Chains A and B, each alone.
Chain A
């Protein structure tokens, strides 16, 4: 009898890949993806050793332009977020535990804002603002053959496109983090002064007492690491676009989502290591 369908549905169902096959394919994809990600960073870092004084100067100007966009132009939004987050934290603590003393309030402010909210808040703002811009810009350049065009005139894409962006994002993240800490603590301080006016000196003493020298390496490790993740991942996913402009939005979105995920994971690991080394978050 002549089949009414052009294919046998039972055969199609049987030829569906097994779970093991799918897992293997997924694992290989992930492995190749990680390899390509590592290669993006390696090639960019290796371009540091490439000769050419003029090329270095051109790349430096690209870095300055990126620094202006990622750092300077983000100041307003970072100010607002830091101020209100610092203030909100103090209000929440006061609402949850009205009897809490000013000194403990100051200690919590430092522990939460300086060590956790500032790094992650800055990273989220930089990734959302500049990370998206980097991924879409590079993706658009790739789709429009601009990256090939740069290579055709002897310009090294890792040196001209990737390295300056990663460097600028690291420097901007460090600077914005410091700014976030200052504004966040100032916001918390101001509200703390309003809601706990009698113990303002105690609040100040708590802030001063909580700051330890080991906060400096923590700040540097978090700032450099988070900035590196943002710049690196967003450049990689932008440049992973092949030829079609329709690839740009999904690749950029995926890049920024993975950036945020890895920022959270990295922050958690560094915080855990910090307290494992330094000890209790609130000095007694």
Chain B
């Protein structure tokens, strides 16, 4: 090993400094930064290739496909009831919500409808998926900014909701509980009281997060005015869910379309924000989580009695036709375009997942931002890798 003298080292530093001065005058060459696919701040295997000029992003592009499982092809070789086991795994944090639009599309083609009690329980489980999903987002938000405490709260309190989902369906993450014509089973004894107690806890959790993060000076300065998406841009990129409502578009698929679900049976509010920045997206999600706890409580109050399964044939053949159903999933609009040829399985299923559209705005959105803001902007857009790649 050769020793470098102080003199040599100083000369080297001086030459570097001289180079840097020259580069400033000649416009620096820039640098390509590769974030991921395995990076603690990317929620999975999203890889972002960013071209930087100093601290500023010249262009950035997500590179997808590390989680692509080919579900659209696989649905073509499954029967209709088997497809729910696949689509569970698209957005794995809110998996019950993924099953619902597919089952509704199949029911629409078969011209059947689930009994009212099944519709109510579906809606309750749907909202519980949302609470479990978004509560993790709210905790994760702190981690992206260097605050470690909220994520512990989130994992602790999300477990209560997952226990409820497990109690009703048997699965924490992949319930596979929704059936064409209703539900696999009725609710277990004692579940309703337990749910009421947990909803109170979740509201407390929302308050805690609000106190910890949303009044925090650092949080505000890192999110206010960062990553602003104007509403016309959000619309033409097909952004949906809280991302769209944070850009001032008052549109919620739970309220604005008629589906055989129970959202129209109770009163609730759609939250919007006009700023369109990272803060607005986080704020809307927080309010929606709290609103969901009220929806669940009110649905429990009005839960009708009766069967949870309508009469369906033993072997389900779906008549020829095409149906499009989308619902307001935790991440945004999740829809299925189902084409049936009258067989046991679908002919073609187009899965429209929310994160794919929400992330396609990233090259536009990251242009000109600073490197530390990449992480907060991505966190505030909130995507699940399985929901991008399908």
A and B: bona fide binding partners: no
